[in-house]
Amino acid sequence: MTSSILFSRKLEDIKRNPRVALSLSDPVGIPAQPFSRATIQGDARVIDDDLHEGWYRLLPLWEAKEPIIKTLLKPMQKLGLPLFWERAIIEMVPKRVLWWPNGDTTRDPQVTDIREAVA
Amino acid sequence: MNVGDALSRLPGYSHAVLVVPDQEGYPLSVATSFRVVDGTVEVTPASTGPSAVRDTVDARLVLSHIRPYPGVGYDQRRYIELSGALSVGGPVWRFNPEAARGWDEQELSFPELCQRALPQARRYLAALSTERGREVTPQMGAGWRFFLATRLPFLTATIVPVFLGLAAAAYDRHFSLGLAALTLLGAMAVHLGLNVANDVFDTMSGVDDVNFTPTKFSGGSRVLQYGLVNMRQMMALAAVFYAVAIIVGLVLVAISGLGLLWLGVAGVLISYFYTAPPLRLVHRGLGELCVALGFGPIMVLAAYFVQTGHYALRPLILSIPVAILVMLILYANEVPDRFSDAKAGKRTLVVRMQPAAVIRGYVAAVTAAYLVVIAGFVFGVLPWPTLISLLTIPLAYQTWQGLKAHYDSPYQLMSYLGKNVNLHLYTGLLLVIGVLLGLLARR
């Protein structure tokens, strides 16, 4: 799950075609050791019934990634760009995961079908 | 972004993510290395297991970079997305890009990116409204919407000259608290009416819609652009403020005398026609003059007249430095707005002049403001304690330096625009204190 600003085209794109993939590929952006790469395919849906507060349940995740958000959430700060704080939630149900140990995509990935794995 | 531009930027990325549709219609993405060769991209073959990558005309190559910024979040955000055809035959795969898009926050700040994408957000909200059968708008408490729509913090521009007029009257041994309160109420109503009307007319003329670099000091309140308030509500709000201002003004004229009427009429007319057609004074390069007159001599002399029933030289001299400094608030705030102003035909002084001339103009005006205080003291019009207003010279210097250094960077300029607002506030309040200290010293 993640939240998205309304300025982004991905919300409309997902509503048009909910089949999506999430790629974890950047060793700089993901400073995890040992580094791996993964692609998660699945079906996404946009939850936009409460743009104003619905996404607050994802705030702990967001804060862990971007601690500055806590400061920007102060009422006076929010006035700077109020529409930034009207957000939709994107929920993705994973279908299949491709995992490349050590990030080496020239080798075959380990492929896991989530539904089969859960069953 | 065109394809050639995008390709020239690819060496700045460590890897690419190739995205193709798989047999079930899901995007199949895989990271790989690449190199640009003669307008195409050679991609190192990558394995995606049983669902192999095949030739397709619907491929994308996504290159992104982001740097974790511990304790804050991320910076150096940038991406390029190329779309085109992929051919997987041979020892390397070949990607022929046909279209490109991207973003680099070092070239286009995130706030500006959001402002440029406002129509997208509006479209989304409109589609949601249609889907739900009711209007979906951004939410904000009524108090905050009022605060934002009226630009309440800018009331310091009114409080300073009114206090100065009152202090000058007190120096001449005239002061009524009730009249002072009524004067402040009327002046604030004109100012808030001006702020709201300014947003209405700037939205009607398209100025605010094409301003992608608003700051908290410039570009209007943007409540209309964000859909927080509608045009009808803003027009009603402006009408209420002007009605209050006119009623209070008439009461004060009845109490103090007809001599106040001309200043009051001038104040309301300047305020309204500042952005309103047919005069649109600010579009004709007269904005600075209007602001200087309205928030300088008109307010100071009116506040003085209400208390004393006559005009005098001292409040007029006192009004000149605050008139210049309040004019400089507008003048400096026009710097980040200059491109959108020019696009909408709003020919402000900053639009008309070269940057170096704008900065020279700023220095000359600030110098003039302080020289008036010194001359007022030298010629015996202003009491000596008013010289404490010169304590703000370092703030003026900092603002000048910031204006020079960040003329082309709206968001870096913002803190200096704040200093410029404070320069007016602190200098004005020190003048008020100086006049009152002069009164005490005279006793």
In tens, the pLDDT along B141-167 reads 999 999 999 999 889 999 999 999 999
pLDDT confidence tier of residue B43, bands split at 50, 70 and 90? very high
| Structure token pair of residue B224 | 């209309």
B326 pLDDT above the threshold of 90: yes
pLDDT of residue B58: 94
B247 pLDDT above the threshold of 90: yes
pLDDT of residue B218: 66
Name the residue with higher pLDDT: A38 or B337.
A38
**What is the residue-averaged pLDDT of chain A?**
91
User: What share of chain B in percent tops pLDDT 90?
Assistant: 76
- Report the alpha-carbon distance of residue B82 to residue B32 in Å, rounded: 14
Residue of A nearest to B62 (CA): A23
- Residue B217 · residue B130 · CB < 8 Å: no
pLDDT of residue A16: 95
Residue B324 CB coordination number (10 Å): 24
Between chain A and chain B, the number of residue pairs with CB atoms below 8 A apart is 136
- A12 → closest Cβ in B49, B124, B147: B124
- Report the alpha-carbon distance of residue B218 to residue B390 in Å, rounded: 27
DSSP state of A108: P
The rounded Cα B411 to chain-centroid distance in angstroms is 10
**Residue labelled with tokens 């959108």:** B340
- Report the alpha-carbon distance of residue B21 to residue B50 in Å, rounded: 14
The kind and range of the H/E element at B290 are helix B287-293
- Report the alpha-carbon distance of residue B395 to residue B423 in Å, rounded: 6
pLDDT of residue B216: 66
Is A111 in the B-facing interface, judged by CB distances under 8 Å?
Answer: yes
pLDDT of residue B410: 74
Q: What letter represents residue B264's amino acid?
A: G
**Residue labelled with tokens 């009491």:** B383
Beta bridge mates, B42: B35, B94
The mean per-residue pLDDT over the stretch A61-72 comes to 89
User: What share of chain B in percent tops pLDDT 70?
Assistant: 99
- Report the alpha-carbon distance of residue B39 to residue B402 in Å, rounded: 43
Is B52 in the A-facing interface, judged by CB distances under 8 Å?
Answer: no
Is B128 in the A-facing interface, judged by CB distances under 8 Å?
Answer: yes
* Bridging pattern class, strands B56-69 and B73-87: antiparallel
B287 pLDDT above the threshold of 90: no
Q: Best interface-test mutation with B: which of A26, A43, A104 has the largest number of B CBs within 10 A?
A: A26
- B29 → closest Cβ in A23, A51, A103: A23
Q: What letter represents residue B109's amino acid?
A: S
pTM for this prediction:
0.83
B279 pLDDT above the threshold of 90: no
pLDDT of residue B340: 76
pLDDT tens for residues B194-211?
999 999 999 998 888 877
DSSP state of B181: H
Contact B68 A28 (CB under 8 A): yes
User: What share of chain A in percent tops pLDDT 70?
Assistant: 99
- Residue B237 · residue B149 · CB < 8 Å: yes
- B114 → closest Cβ in A7, A31, A105: A7
DSSP state of A109: P
- Chain B partners within 8 Å of A37 (Cβ): 31
A20 pLDDT above the threshold of 90: yes
- Report the alpha-carbon distance of residue A33 to residue B356 in Å, rounded: 52
Ranges B65-79, B309-323, B336-350, B419-433: which has the least confidence: B336-350
- Report the alpha-carbon distance of residue B144 to residue B127 in Å, rounded: 26
The mean per-residue pLDDT over the stretch B122-141 comes to 93
Is B118 in the A-facing interface, judged by CB distances under 8 Å?
Answer: yes
Q: A74-95 in b/e burial notation, b at 16+ Cβ within 10 A?
A: eeeeebebbbbbbbbbbebebb
- Residue B75 · residue B69 · CB < 8 Å: yes
Is A66 in the B-facing interface, judged by CB distances under 8 Å?
Answer: yes
| Burial (0-12, 13-18, 19+ Cβ within 10 Å), A38 | buried
pLDDT confidence tier of residue A31, bands split at 50, 70 and 90? confident
pLDDT confidence tier of residue B392, bands split at 50, 70 and 90? very high
Helices (H), B296-312: 299-308
Cβ contacts of B365 within 8 Å, gap of 6 or more? B324, B327, B328, B331
pLDDT of residue B121: 94
Residue of A nearest to B117 (CA): A7
Contact A84 B136 (CB under 8 A): no
B265 pLDDT above the threshold of 70: yes
pLDDT of residue B330: 87
- Report the alpha-carbon distance of residue B267 to residue B262 in Å, rounded: 8
Question: Where would I find the beta strands (DSSP E) of B88-240?
Answer: 93-104
pLDDT tens for residues B70-129?
888 888 899 999 999 999 988 899 999 999 999 998 888 888 889 899 999 999 999 999
- B121 → closest Cβ in A6, A41, A105: A6
